[in-house]
Every structure is written in C-alpha cells, then in structure tokens.
Amino acid sequence: MTDTAVPTSAAGNPIGFGRMLRKEDVRFVRGKGHYIDDVNLPGMLHGAILRSPHAHARIISIDTSAAEAHPKVHAVITGAVLDTLGLAWMPTMSYDTQAVLATDKVRFHGQEVAFVIADDRYSARDALELIDVDYEVLDPVMDAKRALDDGAPIIRDDKDGQTDNHIFDWEAGDAAATDAVFASAEVIVKQEMLYPRSHPAPMETCGTVADMNPLSGKLTLYSNTQAPHAHRTVYAMVAGLPEHQIQVICPDIGGGFGNKVPIYPGYVCSIVGSIVTKRPVKWVEDRSENLMSTGFARDYHMKGEIAATKDGKILGLKVDVLADHGAFNATAQPTKYPAGFFHIFTGSYDYGAAHCKVSGVYTNKAPGGVAYACSFRVTEAVYLVERIVDCLADELGMDPAELRMKNLLRPEQFPYTTPTGWEYDSGDYPRALQLALDIAGYADLRKEQADKRERGELMGIGISFFTEGVGAGPRKHMDILGLGMADGCDLRIHPTGKAQIRLSVQSQGQGHETTFAQIVAHELGIPPEDIQVINGDTDNTPFGLGTYGSRSTPVSGAAAAVVSQRVREKAKIIAATALECSVDDLEWELGRWQVKGDPDQGKTIQELALLAHSNLELPEGVEGHLDAQAVYNPPNLTYPFGAYICVVDVDPGTGHVQVRRFIAVDDCGPRINPMIVEGQVHGGLVDGIGMALMEVIAFDKDGTNLGGSYMDYLLPTPMEVPSFELGETVTPSPHHPLGVKGVGESATVGSPAAVVNAVVDALKPYNIRHADMPLTPAQVWMTMQGKTLRTDLAFED
Amino acid sequence: MQTPAPFGYERATSVDHAIQLLEQLGPEARLVAGGHSLLPMMKIRLAQPEHLIDINPLAAELGSISIDGDSLVIGAMTRHNDLLASPLVGEHFPILQDAERVIADPVVRNRGTVGGSLCQADPAEDLSAALSALHATATIRGSSGSRSVPVRELHVGPYETVVGDAEILTEIRVPIRNGCGSAYEKVERRVGDWAIASAAAVVWMDGGIITDAGVGLAAVGADHFVSPAAEAALRGQQPTEDVIVAAAAAAAAECNPSTDQRGPAEYKRHLAGELTARALRRAVARAQGGQ
C-alpha cells in the first residue's frame, strides 16, 4: 500500500517514498540474475587454490612438477613465482601485510599456498592433488587469551621487529574520570563475555574473472566486490597497474554482509594468472573455501564493568577488549579506528564517564574481523552494553525494562555527545522502548512467566535497546587506506524525461535499483519506473567507497538527493525561460515548475527535459541539457536506534531454546520503501537469532577450522525463527537531506543481545547471570549445571 | 561450486543387473540411490568412488510399502517422504513417522531412501535406531541369493555394515505384533541437523504388562544403536514412572557418547536418558490407545 500523500505513477508505483515491489526482482525471482559465475569469456581458463591443511607450519618445499604435467593445466603459480613479481605479499586495509600465496610459513588452516590454472574447474581441482608440499608443523596459537603469553609461538616472524603476537592497543574515553566514578559507586557489576567468531556466509561465494588484454594493457576485472572503486585504486597501488587501465565490473551480487569488502588472494592470483596465460582467468571459491578463509566477523573477548547507584542510575562503564584478528590484520574500517566504532559501547544511556581499551592480537586463524553486518564493531559494542545492563538489573533486582527506561537518553538531550566523543544526531528512545513494550504486552508476559516458573517451566523475556552510528564519513575523520569516505553520484535526464542515475555504492541485494529510483522520484516527480539506477562498473560510475556499514542511504542516498535538487534548480531556470517569467515567480509542485498564483502556467519535468535539449535560447551562462553531479561528504554519521524484545521457551530437560516471539521497533527516520526496510529488519533478526543460538567458527587444539561446511557452520532456517512483530517510530536525521538513516545492519546489531538476555532470563531459577553465544542446547544445559562452555574452542573430553 | 573427482557412471536396470555391475566393477564401485549422503561427500572429495551405479531405476521394484503376512515390508528404495506419508506405516509404527519428521529437510526426504540411510550407517542415523528398536530385519541380496539379517546386526561400526561389496539391501521387514506402542525423540542444534542424541522406544503390552521392548539410541555410541539393558529393565514390568526412569537410566549408563561440536559427552549421556524416558512415556501411551 502506498502512502496516500504520495501520488502514484501509471505503473502503480509511488512517485516518491512508499511501498513498491523491487525493480530488480523481475530478474532475481525468475532466475535471471547475472552473477560472477555466470561471467564466461571466450578462451577463459579456471583457477583453483591449494590451501594449507595446517594452522601453523613452515614450508620446506613445494613440488609442482606433477601438476604442471597434467594435460589440462596451463600454469601453476606459487608464492615463489609471485615473489619474483613483488606480489607474494599485499597490503591489507589496516596497513598490515597479508600473504597472497605463502612463501615462508602457513599461518592458518585454509591459507592459500598455490594457484593452478587449467582448462576447466574440475581439472584445476584435480591438479591440486598433484602438488606436493613438505611442511614442518609448528605449534599454533588458537586461543587469543594465550597469544601474548611468554613463549607463545610468534606468528608474524616475517615482520621486522615483531617479537610477539601483539598488533595494537587503542583507547577511547576518559580513564581517570571513569575510575573516579567507579571509586565512589554504590554498585559495580563485572561480566566477561565473548562475541564468538562468526561468518557472513553470503549465499554467493567470492570470485573474480580477470581479463588482461595483452595488447592494450587494460585489465577488465569482473568481481563481486562491495567496493568496486576502492578496489580499483588498491589494485593500482598494489600491482602497479595504471588506474585508468583498470575497469572493475560487478555483476549481480548474491549477498555480501561485509564478506565482499576485502581483496582476497584469489583475486590477485586470477589477475596474475591472466597476465601469465594471456587469457581470461576465472576464480570462484567453493563453499568450504568461503567459510574457512574469507573475512570472518567478531571474535571479541570483552571484560565489562558497569557502575550504578543502588536505585539504578547508571554512572559509568568500562570495557577491556582482547580482539582476535587472526594471522594478518586485515580488518577494513576507517583508519583512525583500529577497533572500528566499538567506542560507541556506551549505547543508548546517559553516563557520567566511560572508557574502553582494545588490544588486537594475532592468532593462527583466518584474517578479517569486520564483516557480517556489524557496522564496524557496533555489534560487539551493543552486545556488551545490553548484556551488562541486564547483569546490573539482575544485581539490583530491578526489572530490565524499568532499568533501561530510567537511564535512556531523553529526547531533549539531542544532539548528544557521548563520553567517547560521538555526536548522536537525533532520537526519542523512551517512545521506541514504550512502543515495543506495548506491542509485546510486557506486563502480561511477566505474569505468564511467573505462572510458568511456579510449574517449573522456563520462559524468558529479553530486551535490547541499540543505537548505531552508520554512514561513514565525514571524510576528514574517516578514510580507508587514505581514501576519504565520501561518495559521488551522477544524474542525467534524457530528452524524453527518463533518467539514469549512477552510483558509487554497490548493491548486493539490498534493492538499490528501487530505493535510489524512489529518491530521484521523490525529488523530481519522475516515476520510479522511468529511472534506471546504474552501479557496478568503475568506467561508468563516479568514484566512492562502496556499500558496507549501512552507508549507502546515509551517504549515496544523500548524494542522490543533492544531484536531484541540482537538476530541479536547473529545470527551474529552463522553466522560467520557457514561461518567460522570473525564477522567483515559480513554485515547485511535485514533478512540475509552475507560476505562483497561476498554477495552469507551468512545465513538467519531462517537458523541461526536452526543452533543456532543444533550441530554446537559454540565459547567458546557462548550459543546455539536464544533468548534475555531486560528491557527498556527510557532516556526521546517522544514528538509527531501536527497541527489541525476545520471548523464548527453554526445555529444562534438553536445553533446547525456542524463540517464540520477537518484537522489533526500529527508528531509521523516514522510510523510503517500507517494504525494503522491513525486509532488511527481517533478515537481520534471523542473523541475530543465528548468532545467539548456533553460529560459531570454532577450532580444535591443532588449529583445524571446524566450520568448513553448512553442516558444521549452522545458519538458522525458518523453523528457528518466529513470525516477526515489527513497529516503527520516525525521528528524522537533522543533517541528512532526506532525514533518513541507514538500516541495513540495525537488526543484526540489536537482536543477539535480546535473544541472549531472554535465555539468561529464562534460566533465572538456576542463578545464571551469563552464558556465551552460541546458546546451543549443549551450552544451555551445561550452563544450567554450572559448567558453561568455552564456545570458540573445541570441546575436550 | 564444488568439484568431485572423476568417476564412472552406470545405470542399473534391475536388482540383478545392479549386483552384476557390483561384481564386475569391484569394491571401488558404490550404489547411489538418493545420493544425499554420498554426493556431498564426493563434492568435498571425502569419498572418491571409481564408479557410481545408479539404482534409481529400481525405485518401482524396491520402493513399495506393504503388508506381507505379519510383517510390514518397506522396500529399500522407499523415499523418506513416502515413509512419512504412508497411512500403513502410521497405523502400525508411528515411531517411523516421528523419526521421518526430524530427518533432514523436505528436499532430502524427497529423494533420500530408507536403504541408503541404513547402508550409509552414520552413527547418528535416525532410522537405524528406530528399526533396531522395532526388531526389524534386513533382506540382503547377492548373486547367490538373499539372506536375512536383524537390523541390530546390520551395523558393524561407524559407516560400516555387513552388506558385502557385491550385495544390495533390498527390503526391511518389521514384525507386527499386538499391543505395540512406539515413539521417537531427538534433539538437534537446528532443524535438519544430525541428532545430538536421539532415542527410539517400542513397547509391546499385554494386560498392562510390557511383554517385550525395544530401546534404540543414535549419536551416543550405543552398540548396534540399541540399549539391551534398558530393554531388560522394561520386560515383564508395568510401565510405571519408576520403571521408565530406571530403563532410561540404564540406557544412559550403557551408551558411550563422545565429545564433539554438538556437545560434551556428559550432556549427550544425559540426553540419552532424558529422551529414552520421553520416548517411553509416549510409546506406552500409544500402546494404551492414546497418541
């Protein structure tokens, strides 16, 4: 249903904001999407990667002769080959280095060792088994808590001066002021918690098709990256290829969730392979490769402390984090912030003081760290604060809803500067929490819970309130590898009034072809079906940093509004010329400039488009055509927020958790397409339930990754999630031209704490205050026995 | 996309033809029915058979469910979904439909077969526990004829059965006796996952007394998927809560679970008891005419 205030196009779509079916779904639901593995070029060869079976081992020798002798193999590339080209190592997005193909040691199970190029994928894979690698196995570091022990094996002995596994220490907030608050606090609650390593697990795995033209020297790289422009620049910097000779083309992308932000060794190998063989080379990883070697998420060991008065006024919060970054520090986040936006951990409450310290360490695990819809570590931050607030409620014997309501920031406090320096743009938090409580029927739920406890049944109610910061930059504070986080946008109105808008951001399924058309429609009155949204080709779109961290709508959405407004202003001059009046005499009525007081005198945007390209004589200094460009540098992040309530039933005999209800009230400002927003929320809630109940990349003591297939790395199905109950409040962002805020990650960020809080609440009769995710039946039952498990390392008998 | 190693492919047109192909191609040939265990293992190259012999053309010959005398006969090529949908199975042995409801997912159940599941012999396989508890027998055919083996002697270890390299499991026979009640209970990490632990309970009752019983267990290291101690604790007893609890305790004590990603051994042993008790309560209720 379309908002009644918004006019409807001939095709039945809202000319502006409102519900409409996604334009891209015409091809997606018919199986006509065109993904990386659908890219097939004449003469194309196929690559496959040999991976390390060990977590930590020295490479003694690699014998590729048998593989090279395979009749269908064209080339075998090893680290030694790459070394001769200066490409054995590449820079990461955190100013570290990462092996493209291992030369000295392998540092995680699944690391890239050799690349075979053959006529077809099967032969390439067959030839991997003909490569003989002699390893000297070394002790691995699998527990981040042991990484800094004296005598721990040194993982990065390739780095000059690296004598331990330490990467960085980073702090935010005021330590002295926080200590002072804690020194005089009536109540202090401490809780250690792990946000385990998880995987983004997009349906489509990562891949590239590299096509280096040996004559022109131009590299065309088909790649399912979330950041095509940033990748182009990085390839130019890494490989020394001239940037104007690199074209990155993104076909349709089957999900990203941060997994498709990094540059992976396979991409570089496919480029080298195309240079070596002078033919296009495709490399698409298989499912196990995706799960074992590509960008993971989380892996934060957090020690939180919260201080409060006896009657529940929160005074301060401090956190000490041990961050497991794997074997190479390859997290992708703004340069200034090695822990991402974790220092938003104060959450949605009013504090005296707060402080966090984060230490990053190397372990023998795959690199990555910022992925899976985490908003640059806001996920970990929200989990920490929402869990520890529940611990405080438990300590005080207070209802967790009441404790939150008492401490939430009040509407009149916005814009609000947090103790760690964020400036929250807008919010009405109590209204959102109250709405969630009303939808849930909170008082009745508590009564039902009390009745069930009498009968020995375990029912839990969990609340989470989150604030996110999304839409990086501003560019003066935020860059990746020196590239400022601002995004360009081009809009062209064709003579017949149809439009094309070109974006720097890259859809992975979020519905950009619809949302951005609706933004232009909202500003110009052109029906969304008459607007083509173009992304995914660096030769044909403006520069920008790409889609991750919920930044498309906050940044590129603003750019789209700005270019549309520029076109509208130019159309006004053309209208004044055609109507022979002053621009000051014109007023805008959606899709039309008309004379004030004489609305019959006017020109539609379509008429103006034709006039702009016609022989109409334009005023001095006004050029023809109806196009505009913009680069949007956001003045601040946008701060969406929400209140989530989860209801669970726990089987006391088996520890099995069933999520019975999930209520999600989100405030992301005005909703451009409410259906797409609800879809984002639904997906994020499923993610969050998965994280809370079943997802973890665990390792055994030898360093073997135990999550290498979907039989081992569990994702939730519709059977594990309830029918969601959504609500919304609308608090516009004061600085975004459309008032909108990003929403792509809200539900993933906000929901895990609600689920865990609900399960812990259910276990109250067992005097449980915390259990680490994932809350598998085993973890819940063992927790009930007072033997809660370490979930990130394999169980030992 | 995952890429299996090269293999040959043959299509059997009859049971005799399948046996002939097995003899001809040798021990590196594998039968493929539904393929939902074998093909995933081949895709990650955990299994690399030299030849696949496709027995899907035998679905008509081996895929029926019928009554023969005092037995329910289930053809080895019966798809899981057909077992789940069969009124005949539901009438006599609701345990099999309890189990089928929690085996994998509809996609797997549409193609996966009863015989394939039993011969795959995964230690967490549900039907192995249920059919062992039912005292079913398996018919195995080779070039020299057919032989009959109790299901509880079919498995000799994880992924190993007594079915020879050139033999084929053709049918399962489940004896029908009066006063039977049966039920299956399973705990999994997520729908479609293998069991963390599961229990199958069957009781035959006469005059309020359990005259015979079958207790099956999957995923907890029970020899031959059964707990003889639990069965002994039930035989000749009235089905009181004390008797059920004692039998469940016997099942928990007798199994031998190991710690893995699904949980510690301690938890699985607890589940073996808890689920045995739950299954027994439902089995007794069904024997007494309830559901």
Q: A547: domain CATH number?
A: 3.30.365.10
Task: Report pLDDT digits (tens) over B95-123.
Answer: 999 999 999 999 999 999 999 999 999 99
* Contact yes or no for B256/B161 (Cβ under 8 A): no
CB contact under 8 A, B261 and A655: no
Q: Which pLDDT score is estimated for A1?
A: 39
Q: Are residues A450 and A598 in the same domain?
A: no
Residue A179 falls inside a structural domain? no
Residue A680 falls inside a structural domain? yes
Residue A145 falls inside a structural domain? no
Integer Cα distance of B148 and B163 in angstroms = 11
Q: Are strands B195-206 and B180-188 parallel, antiparallel or unpaired?
A: antiparallel
Query: Is residue A368 pLDDT above 90, yes or no?
Result: no
Residue A630 is inside which H or E element, if any?
strand A626-632
Q: Are residues A427 and A516 in the same domain?
A: no
Query: Is residue A2 pLDDT above 50, yes or no?
Result: no
State the nearest Cα–Cα gap between B41 and chain A, in angstroms.
11
Which among B190, B275, B276, B281 is the top mutation candidate for probing chain A, defined by the most A β-carbons within 10 Å of its own β-carbon? B190
Q: Are residues A548 and A696 in the same domain?
A: no
CB contact under 8 A, B6 and A694: no
Span A667-683, average pLDDT:
98
Q: Are residues A665 and A573 in the same domain?
A: no
Integer Cα distance of A384 and A753 in angstroms = 8
Residue B290 confidence class, pLDDT cut points 50, 70, 90: low
Q: Are residues A613 and A710 in the same domain?
A: no
Residue A794 confidence class, pLDDT cut points 50, 70, 90: confident
Which chain A residue has its CA at the smallest distance from B44's CA?
Answer: A288
Question: Angle formed by the axes of helices A429-440 and A442-454, to 10°?
Answer: 50
Residue A548 falls inside a structural domain? yes
Q: What are the φ and ψ backbone dihedral angles of B245, each rounded to 5 degrees?
A: -65, -40
Task: Report pLDDT digits (tens) over A315-339.
Answer: 999 999 999 999 999 998 899 999 9
Residue B226 confidence class, pLDDT cut points 50, 70, 90: very high
Residue A62 falls inside a structural domain? yes
Span A583-587, average pLDDT:
98
| Overall number of domains in chain A | 3
Choose the final residue of a domain: A632, A659, A690: A632
CB contact under 8 A, A795 and B263: yes
Interface of A with B in 287-316 (CB under 8 A): 287-288
Q: Which pLDDT score is estimated for A797?
A: 52
Residue A243 falls inside a structural domain? yes
* Contact yes or no for A750/A688 (Cβ under 8 A): yes
How does the average pLDDT of chain A come out, rounded?
Answer: 96
Q: Are residues A508 and A453 in the same domain?
A: no
Is the pTM higher than 0.95? The answer reads yes
Task: Report pLDDT digits (tens) over A559-573.
Answer: 999 999 999 999 999
The domain spanning residue A59 has which CATH number? 3.90.1170.50
CB-nearest partner of A706 from B5, B190, B261: B261
Q: Are residues A649 and A780 in the same domain?
A: yes
State the nearest Cα–Cα gap between B267 and chain A, in angstroms.
6
Residue A12 falls inside a structural domain? no
Span A372-400, average pLDDT:
95
What is the value of ipTM here, to two decimals?
Answer: 0.97
Choose the final residue of a domain: A632, A663, A691: A632
Query: Is residue A645 pLDDT above 70, yes or no?
Result: yes
Q: Are residues A450 and A519 in the same domain?
A: no
Q: Which pLDDT score is estimated for A3?
A: 47
Which among A291, A654, A790 is the top mutation candidate for probing chain B, defined by the most B β-carbons within 10 Å of its own β-carbon? A654
Q: Which pLDDT score is estimated for B56?
A: 97
Interface of A with B in 705-724 (CB under 8 A): 706, 709, 711-712, 714, 716-717, 719-720
Which chain B residue has its CA at the smallest distance from A697's CA?
Answer: B261
What is the extent of the structural domain holding A129?
Answer: 36-138+205-253+260-293
Q: Which pLDDT score is estimated for A238?
A: 83
Q: Are residues A621 and A518 in the same domain?
A: yes
Task: Report pLDDT digits (tens) over A265-309.
Answer: 999 999 999 999 999 999 999 999 999 999 999 999 999 999 999
Q: Which pLDDT score is estimated for A607?
A: 98
In chain A, residues with a C-beta closer than 8 Å to the C-beta of B196 are 777-778
Count of CB atoms within 10 A of residue A152's CB?
A: 17
Q: Tell me the three-class secondary structure of A519-560, residue by residue.
A: HHHHHHCCCHHHEEEECCECCCCCCCCCCCCCCHHHHHHHHH
CB contact under 8 A, B6 and A709: no
Which among A38, A40, A781, A788 is the top mutation candidate for probing chain B, defined by the most B β-carbons within 10 Å of its own β-carbon? A781
Span A504-523, average pLDDT:
97
A312 or A2: which leads in pLDDT: A312
Which chain B residue has its CA at the smallest distance from A126's CA?
Answer: B5
Which chain A residue has its CA at the smallest distance from B257's CA?
Answer: A797
pLDDT above 70 coverage of chain A, percent: 99
CB contact under 8 A, B187 and A777: yes
Choose the final residue of a domain: A583, A614, A632: A632
Residue B291 confidence class, pLDDT cut points 50, 70, 90: low
SS3 category, A650: strand
